[in-house]
Structure 1
Amino acid sequence: MYANDGFCELDRRECLRLLARVPVGRIVHTRDALPAVLPVNFALDGDGGVLLRTSAASELVRAIAGSVVAFEADEVDAAGHSGWSVVVTGTATLVSDPGEHERLVRHGPRSWVPSPQEVFVRIEPELVTGRRLTGGRTMYGLDPVS
């Protein structure tokens, strides 16, 4: 974390609690040796794994399967100059176990764009970090920037 930047670090438990409150995040991966960011809906698995449901033929699946990716979600209150951001970094894998796939069909995330052949991608939570800003400029008695 950066010293004296007005943010406080969040522990893993708090990060996962906050992630469970929001329906959409962003997956960060590499495409043609450049960073790419895509918004996705998601759900958390029991141990904090991030689950995505998407088309088996999607470019996203081809780009991330077996790769280390980052997943970020946040919540911002622009008027109150506050919010939080959480990043989960880990390896993205396709769920290949038939029993696990069936469980996720019933209880996992629902794709906002359904397709005939859907797969589940799981991001293993190898590193979970987060930070929160409360009060922002108003915390220091400064006028908000227009």
Structure 2
Amino acid sequence: MEHDEGPVQRLTEPECWQLLAASPLGRIATHVHDVIDIFPVNYYADGASILFRTAPGSKLVELTINDQIAFETDGYDEWAGWSVIIKGTARALEHQAEIDAADDLPLHPWIPTLKPVYVRITPTHISGIRFERAPEPERS
């Protein structure tokens, strides 16, 4: 961790990737004109990018109009919680070699629908925090 600031600590980039690799579900936020949308996605983190699958529809259309994206995943146990946020660009995989490589990854839809399009998020910024879970301190 980069800073020990009491109950909230900033995570290093390697710590962020470690948590990303261990978590199966995240959310992407898109922004087109004055509309912001958030979509849950299951994903695969390879230590340099995030990959998720989708079907043609609003998510893919929005990413085509504006490839700037935010991605967030989090988790907790009885002692601590954490959150990792990635800001970056998203693009659908188009080259067959990329798609074939993605097909070999352990990334499968959680629901029984076809999701033929792979989307890669390439980070421009990654940050994360870990925080203690404890009762609220006494108010003075």
Instruction: Give the TM-score of the pair, scaled to structure 1.
Output: 0.80
Q: 2:72 maps to what in 1?
A: 72
Q: 1:105 maps to what in 2?
A: 103
- Provide structure 1 residue ranges, at least 5 long, that are not aligned to the other structure: none
- Provide structure 2 residue ranges, at least 5 long, that are not aligned to the other structure: none
Per-residue deviation, 1:97: 1.3
Per-residue deviation, 1:5: 7.5
Q: 1:87 maps to what in 2?
A: 85
Q: 1:11 maps to what in 2?
A: 12
The alignment of Structure 1 onto Structure 2 pairs a total of residues equal to 132
Task: Note closer, same or farther for the CA distance 1:133–1:95 as it changes in structure 2 (3 Å cut).
Answer: same
Secondary structure at the aligned position of 1:93 is classed as strand
How far does the alpha carbon of each residue in 1:94-143 deviate from its partner, in whole angstroms, 9 at most, with x for none?
Answer: 1111111011112251122431x6110000011110000024437xxx47
RMSD (Å), alpha carbons: 2.1
Question: 2:48 corresponds to which letter in structure 1?
Answer: G
Per-residue deviation, 1:48: 2.4
Output the CA distance in 1 between the equivalents of 2:106 and 2:93.
12
Instruction: Flag as ranges the 4+ runs of structure 1 deviating above 4 A.
Output: none
Higher strand share: 2
Q: 2:45 maps to what in 1?
A: 44
Secondary structure at the aligned position of 1:20 is classed as helix
Task: Note closer, same or farther for the CA distance 1:6–1:61 as it changes in structure 2 (3 Å cut).
Answer: same
Task: Note closer, same or farther for the CA distance 1:108–1:90 as it changes in structure 2 (3 Å cut).
Answer: farther
Per-residue deviation, 1:75: 0.3
Secondary structure at the aligned position of 1:89 is classed as strand
Output the CA distance in 2 between the equivalents of 1:63 and 1:70.
13
Instruction: Give the TM-score of the pair, scaled to structure 2.
Output: 0.83
Output the CA distance in 2 between the equivalents of 1:97 and 1:58.
21
Question: 2:92 corresponds to which letter in structure 1?
Answer: L
